Chain A
Amino acid sequence: MKLGYYPGCSLEGISAEYDESIRALFAHLEITMEDLPDWICCGTLAAPSLSRLLGLATPLWNVAQAEKAGYDKLIAPCSACLYHFKHATQTVTENPSLRADVEAVLELPLDSPPPTIHPLELLSDNSFEMRIRASVKRDLSDLKAVCYYGCHISRPAKLMQFDDPENPQSMDRLLNWIGIQTLDWPRKVDCCGAHFSMIKPDIVVDMCQRLFESALEAGAEAIIVGCPMCHANLDTRQNAIAAKLGHALNMPVLYFSQVLGYAFGLPGEKLGFKRHIVDPLPLLKCLKLEVTSD
């Protein structure tokens, strides 16, 4: 299977540690993927707000590049990019005249666009279970954590066609394989406020406060995520939230790719831990962490 990789803009900026840890993890598991050539931003909500056709053509430029490169699947670690790719692909697949318009705009064909998937969809497949269990070098079973999926990993279900939109399990399953008994909590698919962090930070603080309260109630010491926006909002807004809560927060927010990589014995530098506002290493270091021999 030929896999393409679309990092997206955040992973080249504020979420560099997600990119680093995904690449390190995939290399460690010997999963080969190729960077999508000539990619552009997915357009998020901005391009479709200006023009419907622009909103479709922008993500589909990337999908058309993936088709041209002959990928079987395109991996998008940002769940917003993922959603826009899938949404645009489905819209033009269902509407041939829109597809013709988009092809004319792009000056490229969209004959059989490959599906875009989240890295969780690839890794949480049962075919990886043995390999993942066998790769564990550090025992993280003491980590008390909740998995936070946010919006688009599985929602809307009809479009995403992956996991359960109200109670997704793929990330929990993956972490169970490396020995972490993830905690159950009711807010795993609530929205973090996404890009509103840049325009209406007070709204994001409110939305993330609810998430932290719920995670604390479940007994979590860390939140594990699979989206750069979820991570940015939860990692960077803790001071304001702590002020509202009236107590310190300091809860590490980790990408699933960092946790897996760490369990597999990869060094912290390769996983970008030093980039976090809330340093996760003190927590990870208090776990028993015996490194098993090869």
Chain B
Amino acid sequence: MAFRDEIQALSGQNVNLCFQCSKCSSGCPLADKMDLKPAQVMHSIRLGRADSVLNSQAIWLCVDCETCTSRCPQDVEPAAAMAAVRVLALQKGIKPSVKVIDIYYRGFVDNMRLNGKIHDASVAGITQLLTGQLIPDLPLAMKLLVRGRVKPPPLPLGGGRFRKIYRNALAKEKESRA
């Protein structure tokens, strides 16, 4: 399937409707940090430039704030297209170009596998440790601890529910792609 069609199948978005007004880029709070701005991501998908989109930092810097989707005069949802590109990139085994975000998302799901819920302090601490950002935030962590906003990690119970969903979902997706 062509790249553009794959994105359409995953996101339900017809990028051909985009008329490049750039309203999405103008309102995106992360645009100044992105290599491809949201309107450029849309245009690149339309042109089938799979490599540049799948390897862009933009798709990983998107926080899913939905400003773009909310303002698009053509009723296209750039945020949904971004999400579809992220899924496709991982399906194709492409390493996210923003490493810290990859570490965070994976660590987050690993933590869910323990308890079903996440223990926010562990997710934050482990992510920051692995990305070398723990030290600057230690004083803040201490302040949160004394204020009772850092809870002790729970016993790894209750993760069974999520682990089953995880197993089933990945198996089903594999089966439908086969």
Contact = CB atoms under 8 A, between A and B. Distances in A.
Partners in one complex: yes
Interface in B137-173: 137, 140, 143-144, 147-151, 158, 161-162, 164-166, 168-170, 172-173
Contact of B117 (A16, A41, A54, A275): A41
B47 interface: no
A63 B129 CA distance: 34
B83 interface: yes
B65 A194 contact: yes
Most chain B CB within a 10 A radius of its CB, from A13, A15, A57: A13
A29 interface: no
Contacts of B83: 45, 48-49
B87 A43 contact: no
Interface string B35-72: 00000000000000000000000000001111101100
Contacts, number: 167
Given A14-B149, A61-B161, A156-B69, A105 B168 contact: yes
By size class, the interface of chain A is 35 or more
Q: Is the interface of B mostly helix, strand, loop or mixed?
A: helix
Contact of A10 (B87, B120, B158, B161): B120
B70 A157 contact: yes
A43 B112 contact: yes
B151 A12 contact: yes
Contact of B144 (A40, A151, A190, A236): A236
Interface of B: 10, 29-30, 33, 63-67, 69-70, 77, 79, 83-84, 86-87, 90, 100-101, 103-106, 108-109, 112, 116-121, 123-124, 127-128, 131, 133, 136-137, 140, 143-144, 147-151, 158, 161-162, 164-166, 168-170, 172-173, 176
Given A50-B109, A275-B149, 5 more contacts: A41-B118, A52-B173, A155-B69, A199-B127, A201-B133
A-B pairs with lowest CB-CB distance, top 3: A46-B108, A40-B116, A191-B65
